[in-house]
C-alpha cells in the first residue's frame, strides 16, 4: 500500500471536513438557495386558478370554513381568486369559479379593480368577513365603483356595503386607497377595517369602518356600518401605503403603524379606549422624506419589544428596533448598508422560512424599467448586541423580471415549512408564483392559532413561546402587514433543535392565557381559545418557563430579574448588574458627567439619547365633509381642465387626470402623484391602456 496515496485521501477528507465547518463569509450571499419554485406543479398558470393577469394584495383566511386556510388574491384586471389546497391533487385550486351558482361567485367581482385585501370577523359570528379595496379609476371612466365587504350569509358570499342600510349611510369608500387592515380597536373581538387612503389635499382621509351595533340586525345578517376614523383619531390625510396592526407600543391593545408616501408615517398608539394618538415623530419612525411600502412587525432581537421593518420605494429600507430609555420609546434603525440599499420594493415579509429560530426578511421588488431581483436577509439575534444581518440567496424567488406587488407566507400543505406565494401586476400581467423552502427540514417548529371569544382568528394577538434553551420568542398576529396584504393568522415559530416549554397568548383586550407545551406537541398546530371567565377561578397549572424566566403568581411566565434575585451575581470587576429580558449582564461601575451615560458595557461614556422627535409634517387639520368631497368629485368629473399627469417611478400610479388645485410646492416633483379631487369619483373618462394601471 502506498502511504502517499493514503495521505492524499486523508488530506482531501480533511479539506472537505474543513469546508463543511467553515463559517460563511460575512455579508456574502450564501450559495445554498432558500426557495425552489413549485408553481408548475402546485399552481400551474391556467385560465381558472392562475390566470395571467394583474394581481395585487394577498390575504390568508378560511373562506369555506373547513378549518384550512385559503389564499385570497386581489385581481385588478381579472377576477379575485380564492386558492384552496387540494390534498389529493397536491395543488392549489381556485374555488371562486366562474359559475353564478357557486357560493364564492361574488368574491370574483370582475368589475372591481382590487388591490388591497384583508379578512377579519367584524360582526362577531366567528367567521371572517373579506374586504377588497377597489381602485377603479380614470382608466374606466368616472368611477362609481366602491370597495366591497363580503360576508357569508344566505349560503353564499354577499357584499354588505351595497346593502340598503349602508348605501343610505354612504359608508362605502369612494376614495383612492392602498392597503387595508383589521383592527380590534376596543378589544371587543369585533374588528374594524382600517383603510389607508391616498388623499389629495383635503380629500380622502384614512378611514376606519366598523359595525354599528345599534343599527344592525344580526339575526338577519344585516350589518349597519359606520366610519369611526374621526372619533378614533385616525382621520388623517396622507399618501397611504403599508399598514401593520398589533400591540407595538401597547402591552396588549392594537396599535397601527402606517408607512406613508409624501408625508410622515403614522404610529397610532391605542389609548386603551379605541382612540389613537400618533406617536411616530416622538418614537422616531416618522421618516417624513421617504415613501413607505411593505411593512412587518417582529421581535428581531428577542427582547420582548416589537420591532418594525419596512421598505421605502427606491429609498433606504428600515429595520427599527424598539428601545426604551428614561421611560420613553425610541426606535433605532439597525439596517446595514446592504439591507437598506434602495430598491423598487413592494411587499416585505418577516418569517422564519427554515425554522432555525432566526427570522428572515423578504423584499418583493418590482422589475421597473429594468430587472430588479427580490432579496432575502437573515436577522441573527445576538445575546448582548444588535442582531447581525446576513444576505441570503433566495434561489428561484429571485424573480429578476417579476413585477412583484403582494405576497404572503402560509403553510398550505401542513408540513411545518412556510410556503411563499407572490403576486405580480402593473405594467405587465404575470401569474402568481409559489415557492417552497429548501432548508431546515429537520428543525422543530410550532404553529399557534389564537381564537377570539367568538371563535374567529385573533388578529392583533401577541403570542410568546417560552423554550427549553433559547428563551422567549414573540410573534404578532398582524391585522395587516406586507403591502396591500394580510398574512396568515398564525404565530409560526421555528425552533431549530430547541423545544417549546410553554406558550402565552395576549388578546387585544388584555386577557391572557398560558399553557404548557409537551414534547409530543412539537411540530404541530396548537389552537388557543379565548379564556373563559371560569378559567380565572382555577389556580394556574405549573409552567416550565425555561432559562431566564419564571412563573409568577398570576400563572404567567415573566423575565427573572437576576440582579434582584441574586444580588451577588456579578463579579467584582464588573459589579453593576443590568437585568435584560431573559438574561442579565454585568458592567463596570463607570461614572459619567452630566448629559452622558455609560455605554452598554460600561467601558465609555456616551451622550444621553435625546428625545427630540421632529415635529410631524402632516398637513394641518382640514375639514373633511364627505358631501364637499363628493361635490368636488362631481365638479372634477364634469370636466375641469386636465393637468398633465405627473410621471413617477413605478408603483400603482393612479395618476390624476384632473386636479382641483396645484400640488403644494414642496410636493411638486416628488414621487407618486396623489389622486385627483374626489378620489375615484373624480377621475375623468380615459381609455385604459393595455398592460395595467401603472404606465
- Residue 407: strand pairing partners: 422
Which residues ranging from 230 to 259 are in contact with Ca ion (CB under 5 A)?
Answer: none
> Which DSSP letter does residue 648 get?
-
Torsion of CA 376, 381, 384, 386, to 10 degrees: 20
Is residue 301 near Ca ion by the rule CB under 5 A?
A: yes
Q: Which is nearer to Ca ion, 92 or 115 (CB)?
A: 92
Radius of gyration of the chain from its Cα atoms, rounded to whole angstroms: 26
Is residue 219 near Ca ion by the rule CB under 5 A?
A: no
Which set of grid coordinates corresponds to residue 365?
Answer: 421588488
CA quadruple 285, 286, 290, 295: dihedral sign: positive
Q: Which is nearer to Ca ion, 124 or 546 (CB)?
A: 124
For Ca ion (CB under 5 A), the number of binding residues is 17
Strands 525-528 and 444-450: parallel
Is residue 498 near Ca ion by the rule CB under 5 A?
A: no
The answer to whether 285 and 267 are in contact (CB under 8 A) is yes
Is residue 68 near Ca ion by the rule CB under 5 A?
A: yes
Q: Shortest Cβ distance from residue 61 to Ca ion (Å)?
A: 8
Binding residue for Ca ion, selected from 38, 94, 123, 404, defined by CB under 5 A: 123
Is residue 66 near Ca ion by the rule CB under 5 A?
A: yes
Binding residue for Ca ion, selected from 109, 121, 184, 399, defined by CB under 5 A: 121
- Residue 129: strand pairing partners: 120
Is residue 62 near Ca ion by the rule CB under 5 A?
A: yes
How far is residue 554's CA from residue 286's CA, in Å, rounded to a whole number?
A: 37
Q: Shortest Cβ distance from residue 192 to Ca ion (Å)?
A: 13
Is residue 158 near Ca ion by the rule CB under 5 A?
A: no
Which set of grid coordinates corresponds to residue 681?
Answer: 369619483
Is residue 488 near Ca ion by the rule CB under 5 A?
A: no
Binding residue for Ca ion, selected from 148, 226, 291, 305, defined by CB under 5 A: 305
Is residue 401 near Ca ion by the rule CB under 5 A?
A: no
With CB under 5 A as the contact rule, which of the stretches 59-67, 90-98, 528-536, 549-557 interacts with Ca ion? 59-67
Is residue 390 near Ca ion by the rule CB under 5 A?
A: no
CA of 532: how far to CAs of 184, 453, 456, 504, in Å?
19, 8, 15, 15
Binding residue for Ca ion, selected from 259, 286, 303, 390, defined by CB under 5 A: 303
Which residues ranging from 415 to 454 are in contact with Ca ion (CB under 5 A)?
Answer: none
Binding residue for Ca ion, selected from 91, 108, 127, 318, defined by CB under 5 A: 127
Binding pattern for the stretch 330-359 against Ca ion, x by CB under 5 A and - elsewhere: ----------------------x-x-x-x-
With CB under 5 A as the contact rule, which of the stretches 54-62, 250-258, 587-595, 613-621 interacts with Ca ion? 54-62
- Among the listed residues 319, 267, 260, 330, the one whose alpha carbon sits nearest the alpha carbon of residue 288: 260
- By residue count, the chain amounts to 695
Q: Which is nearer to Ca ion, 68 or 217 (CB)?
A: 68
Which own/partner contact pairs does 573-581 have at CB distance under 8 Å and 24+ positions apart? Answer: 574/602, 576/602, 580/303, 580/384, 581/302, 581/303, 581/304, 581/305, 581/471, 581/472, 581/548
Q: Which is nearer to Ca ion, 297 or 657 (CB)?
A: 297
Is residue 600 near Ca ion by the rule CB under 5 A?
A: no
The answer to whether 187 and 100 are in contact (CB under 8 A) is no
Residues that bind Ca ion (CB under 5 A): 62, 64, 66, 68, 121, 123, 125, 127, 299, 301, 303, 305, 307, 352, 354, 356, 358
Amino acid at each position: 500500500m502506498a502511504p502517499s496515496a493514503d495521505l492524499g485521501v486523508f488530506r482531501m477528507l480533511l479539506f472537505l471536513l474543513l469546508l463543511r465547518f467553515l463559517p460563511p463569509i460575512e455579508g456574502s450571499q450564501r450559495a445554498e438557495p432558500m426557495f425552489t419554485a413549485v408553481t408548475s406543479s402546485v399552481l400551474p398558470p391556467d385560465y381558472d386558478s392562475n390566470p395571467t393577469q394583474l394581481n395585487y394584495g394577498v390575504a390568508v383566511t378560511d373562506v369555506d370554513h373547513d378549518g384550512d386556510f385559503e389564499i385570497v388574491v386581489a385581481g385588478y384586471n381579472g377576477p379575485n381568486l380564492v386558492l384552496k389546497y387540494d390534498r389529493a391533487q397536491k395543488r392549489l385550486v381556485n374555488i371562486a369559479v366562474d359559475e353564478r351558482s357557486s357560493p364564492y361567485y361574488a368574491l370574483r367581482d370582475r368589475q372591481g379593480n382590487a388591490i388591497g385585501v384583508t379578512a377579519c370577523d367584524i360582526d362577531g359570528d366567528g367567521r371572517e368577513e373579506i374586504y377588497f379595496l377597489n381602485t377603479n379609476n380614470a382608466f374606466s371612466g368616472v368611477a362609481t365603483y366602491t370597495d366591497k365587504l363580503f360576508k357569508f350569509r344566505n349560503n353564499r358570499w354577499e357584499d354588505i356595503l351595497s346593502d340598503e342600510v349602508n348605501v343610505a349611510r354612504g359608508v362605502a369608500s369612494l376614495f383612492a386607497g392602498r392597503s387595508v387592515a383589521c383592527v380590534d380597536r376596543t378589544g371587543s373581538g369585533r374588528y374594524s377595517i382600517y383603510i389607508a387612503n391616498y388623499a389629495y389635499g383635503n380629500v380622502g382621509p384614512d378611514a376606519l369602518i366598523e359595525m354599528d351595533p345599534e343599527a344592525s340586525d344580526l339575526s338577519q345578517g344585516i350589518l349597519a356600518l359606520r366610519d369611526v376614523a374621526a372619533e378614533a383619531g385616525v382621520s388623517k390625510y396622507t399618501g397611504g401605503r403599508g399598514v401593520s396592526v398589533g400591540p407595538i407600543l401597547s402591552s396588549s391593545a392594537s396599535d397601527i403603524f402606517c408607512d406613508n408616501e409624501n408625508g410622515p408615517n403614522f404610529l397610532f398608539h391605542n389609548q386603551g379606549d379605541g382612540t389613537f394618538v400618533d406617536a411616530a415623530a416622538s418614537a422616531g419612525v416618522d421618516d417624513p422624506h421617504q415613501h413607505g411600502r411593505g411593512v412587518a412587525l417582529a421581535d428581531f432581537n428577542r427582547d420582548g419589544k416589537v420591532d418594525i421593518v419596512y421598505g421605502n420605494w427606491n429609498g433606504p429600507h428600515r429595520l427599527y428596533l424598539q428601545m426604551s430609555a428614561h421611560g420613553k420609546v425610541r426606535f433605532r434603525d439597525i439596517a446595514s448598508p446592504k439591507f437598506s440599499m434602495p430598491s423598487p420594493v413592494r411587499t416585505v415579509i418577516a418569517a422564519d422560512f427554515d425554522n432555525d429560530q432566526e427570522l428572515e426578511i423578504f423584499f418583493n421588488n418590482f422589475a421597473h424599467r429594468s430587472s430588479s431581483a427580490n432579496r432575502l436577509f437573515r436577522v441573527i439575534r445576538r445575546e448582548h448586541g444588535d442582531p447581525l444581518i446576513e444576505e441570503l440567496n433566495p434561489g428561484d424567488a429571485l424573480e429578476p423580471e417579476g413585477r412583484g406587488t403582494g405576497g404572503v407566507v402560509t403553510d398550505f400543505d401542513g408540513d411545518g415549512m412556510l410556503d411563499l406565494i407572490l403576486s405580480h401586476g402593473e405594467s405587465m400581467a404575470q401569474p402568481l408564483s409559489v415557492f417552497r423552502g429548501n432548508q431546515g427540514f429537520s428543525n422543530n417548529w410550532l404553529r399557534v392559532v389564537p381564537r377570539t371569544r367568538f371563535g374567529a382568528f385573533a388578529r392583533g394577538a401577541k403570542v410568546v413561546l417560552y423554550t427549553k434553551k433559547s428563551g422567549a420568542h414573540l410573534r404578532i398576529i398582524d391585522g395587516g402587514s406586507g403591502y396591500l396584504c394580510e398574512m396568515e393568522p398564525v404565530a409560526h415559530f421555528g425552533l431549530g433543535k430547541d423545544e417549546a416549554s410553554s406558550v402565552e397568548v395576549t388578546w387585544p383586550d388584555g386577557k391572557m392565557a398560558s399553557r404548557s407545551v409537551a414534547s409530543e406537541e412539537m411540530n404541530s398546530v396548537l389552537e388557543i381559545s379565548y379564556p373563559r371567565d371560569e378559567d380565572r377561578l382555577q389556580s394556574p397549572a405549573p409552567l416550565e418557563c425555561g432559562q431566564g424566566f419564571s412563573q409568577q403568581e398570576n400563572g404567567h411566565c415573566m423575565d427573572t430579574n437576576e440582579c434582584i434575585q441574586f444580588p451577588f451575581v456579578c463579579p467584582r470587576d464588573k459589579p453593576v448588574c443590568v437585568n435584560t429580558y431573559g438574561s442579565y449582564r454585568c458592567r463596570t461601575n463607570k461614572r459619567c458627567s452630566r448629559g452622558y451615560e455609560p455605554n452598554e458595557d460600561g467601558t465609555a461614556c456616551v451622550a444621553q439619547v435625546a428625545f427630540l422627535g421632529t415635529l410631524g409634517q402632516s398637513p394641518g387639520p382640514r375639514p373633511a365633509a364627505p358631501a364637499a368631497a363628493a361635490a368636488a368629485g362631481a365638479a372634477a368629473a364634469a370636466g375641469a381642465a386636465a393637468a398633465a399627469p405627473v410621471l413617477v417611478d413605478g408603483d400603482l400610479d393612479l395618476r390624476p387626470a384632473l386636479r382641483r388645485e396645484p400640488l403644494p410646492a414642496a410636493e411638486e416633483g416628488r414621487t407618486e402623484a396623489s389622486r385627483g379631487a374626489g378620489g375615484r369619483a373624480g377621475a375623468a373618462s380615459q381609455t385604459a391602456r393595455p398592460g395595467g394601471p401603472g404606465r
